[in-house]
Amino acid sequence: MAAATTEIRWHGRGGQGAKTAAIFLAEAVLDQGKHSQGFPEYGPERRGAPVRGFTRISDAPIRLHCSIAEPDYVIVLDPTLLDSKAAGVPDGASDDTVFLINTVETPANIRKRLGIKGGKVHTVDASLIAQECFGRPIPNMPMIGALAAVADVITLENLVASLVVRFKKKFSQAVIDGNVTAVERAYKELVSE
């Protein structure tokens, strides 16, 4: 709504970390003095079902308490959602919307699959990066790394610092290191049009 608010919509399947990513990013930007909101869309909770997550980031307090219908950024964790009408990946996108897709395909192919003319499409093989870096194909953290490369919401340095602090409570050093490498790789390996 307010021009200064960045609205991000996440599309994934249950188990891929769309909810975690939406909330992680919201909390990570606080260290930069931003205001934020991160929330998932709740429905039947089951692994593999399409889920959406939402993140709002702003320099001013955020007052909106509704879903994100016209996102600035659309992040897709699972490319099989691209063809799903129910998942609604391109819904509400404008000519300025930026798409970040976890896929092996090229941005040009994705553009065709989504049936969009405007906007910008970036791709990265986040599942492969995750598999290689920490042994599980969970793409959410590398996708945040990819976002840091194209969006002015968080720097790579702040993202890594925040990841280390927040993961320390739950994970081993090996898992943390793997995630840091994955984030850095996705930041660099992003393919743009």
Partner 1 sequence: MKQIYVGLTGNEAVATAFKQARPHVAPAFPITPQTEMMHKFADFVADGVVDTEMILVESEHSAMSAAIGSAATGARTFTATSSAGFALMWEVVYIAASLRLPICMPVVNRALSGNINIHNDHSDAMGGRDAGWIQLWCENTQEAYDHALMCWRIAEHKDVRLPVMINYDGFIISHTSESLHILPDEDAWKFVGPKDLKTGYSLLDMDHPITVGPLDLTDYYFEHKVSQIEALKRAPKHIAEVYKEFGQLTGRHYSFFEEYRTDDADLVIVALGSTAGTAKDVIDAQREKGVKVGLLKIHMFRPFPAAELAKALSKAKVVGVMDKAASFGGWGGPLFNEIRSALYDLPARPKIHNWIYGLGGRDTDVKQIAALIDQLQAIAKGREAETVNLLGVRL
- Interface positions with partner 1 (CB under 8 A): 1-2, 23, 26-27, 30, 34-40, 42, 61-67, 69
At closest approach, how far in Å is the CB of 29 from partner 1?
A: 9
For partner 1, the closer CB: 55 or 123:
55
Compute the distance between CA of residue 116 and CA of residue 150 in angstroms, rounded to an integer: 19
Going by DSSP bridges, is the β-strand pair 98-102/120-124 parallel, antiparallel, or unpaired?
A: parallel
On whether the CB atoms of residues 112 and 101 are closer than 8 A, the answer is no
The pair of structure tokens assigned to 114 is: 């989504």
For partner 1, the closer CB: 33 or 115:
33
Residue by residue, DSSP assigns 87-150 as: TTTTTT--TT-EEEEESSS-HHHHHHHHT-SSSEEEEE-HHHHHHHHHSS---HHHHHHHHHHH
At closest approach, how far in Å is the CB of 140 from partner 1?
A: 15
For partner 1, the closer CB: 29 or 129:
29
For partner 1, the closer CB: 21 or 126:
21
At closest approach, how far in Å is the CB of 60 from partner 1?
A: 10
For partner 1, the closer CB: 20 or 109:
20
- At residue 180, the 3 state secondary structure works out as helix
At closest approach, how far in Å is the CB of 190 from partner 1?
A: 26
At closest approach, how far in Å is the CB of 41 from partner 1?
A: 9
Q: What are phi and psi of 125, to 5 degrees?
A: -90, 75
On whether the CB atoms of residues 166 and 24 are closer than 8 A, the answer is yes
